[in-house]
Amino acid sequence: MGREIYRVPLDFNWPLRKVWQGFLNPYWKQCAHCGGTGATAGDRWFNKWLEEFQISATNPTDANRNARAKELHELFVALSGEPKGVVLLEWGQTFSLKQKLLEIAGLPGWGRCTACDSTGIDAAVKAKYEAWEEELPPEGEGYQLWETVSEGSPISPVFPTKETFVDYLVTQGYSREAALNFVEHGWAPTMMMRDGKILNDIESCR
Ligand SMILES: [Zn+2]
């Protein structure tokens, strides 16, 4: 998500770039046993080891690179059953490698925090946290630009009409065509790739 239009009252004055209070779950409290990660210390260590091994294996300045890359690759191929042609160890592959190792060890649930059932949320507030529902900003006649890269916050003044809002977007460097389409759609992604060019947020509506 990237940009969105909210129709708010003309006198709506929530501070710019501050996440709207209705979007923040007040019951969030991280599990003290796993620090909110949902994993045990052993799992965090294992992931770090895998990550470092992988970085080392793909780092051209590491003298042991080829040996390590070969070793890890062979282990991966042997355990995962993936075709031999797979050389690059993507994150998803190290994840499946880990799952396979745990399966072989007969420890399918190893590494998961039992205190929070691997959710990372304090068990005492979990029911309230999950029952909470977000509250949208008040509705009105005005047009306002919001960023939705975070939970959501306003980033422009409130405009009384569609036309003044489009004019404002044009002064912010967007093409009129993109601004008009954006007002019709009501939202725009963070960025889009088209014909080899990167179009940022509202401009991707062109
Ligand atoms: Zn936990």
pLDDT tens figures, 154-200: 999 999 999 999 999 999 999 999 999 999 988 888 778 777 778 88
Measured in whole angstroms, how far is the alpha carbon of residue 128 from the centre of its chain? 23
Calculate how far, in angstroms, residue 110's C-alpha sits from the geometric centre of ligand 1: 13
The b/e string for 92-102 (b: 16+ C-beta within 10 A; e otherwise) is ebbebbbebeb
Cα 27 to ligand 1 centroid, rounded to whole Å: 16
Torsion angle in degrees (nearest 10) through CA of 184, 185, 188, 194: -90
Q: What does each of the 206 residues of the chain score in pLDDT, given as a tens digit? A: 589 999 999 999 999 999 999 999 999 999 999 999 999 999 988 888 877 776 666 666 666 666 766 777 677 777 766 655 444 455 556 677 778 888 888 988 899 999 999 999 999 999 999 999 999 999 999 999 999 988 999 999 999 999 999 999 999 999 999 999 999 988 888 778 777 778 888 888 88
Cα separation, 74 vs 194, in Å, equals: 38
Q: Contact, 60 vs 133, CB < 8 A?
A: no
- Looking at the chain, the number of H-run helices and the number of E-run strands are 6, 6
pLDDT, position 205 = 83
Q: What spacing in Å lies between the alpha carbon of 129 and ligand 1's midpoint? A: 15
Instruction: Kindly tell me the burial class for residue 4, based on how many C-beta atoms sit within 10 Å of its own C-beta (0-12, 13-18, 19 or more).
Output: middle
SS3 73: helix
Q: How far is the CA of 95 from the centre of ligand 1 (A)?
A: 20
The alpha carbon of 185 and the centre of ligand 1 are apart by a number of angstroms equal to: 40
Question: What is the Å distance from ligand 1's center to 87 Cα?
Answer: 34
Ion ligand 1: residues, CB < 5 A: 31, 33-34, 113, 115-116
- Measured in degrees and rounded to the nearest 5, phi and psi for residue 154 equal -70, 145
What is the rounded CA–CA span in Å between residue 159 and residue 130? Answer: 35
Ligand 1 mean position, distance from CA 144 (Å): 39
Q: How far is the CA of 42 from the centre of ligand 1 (A)?
A: 13
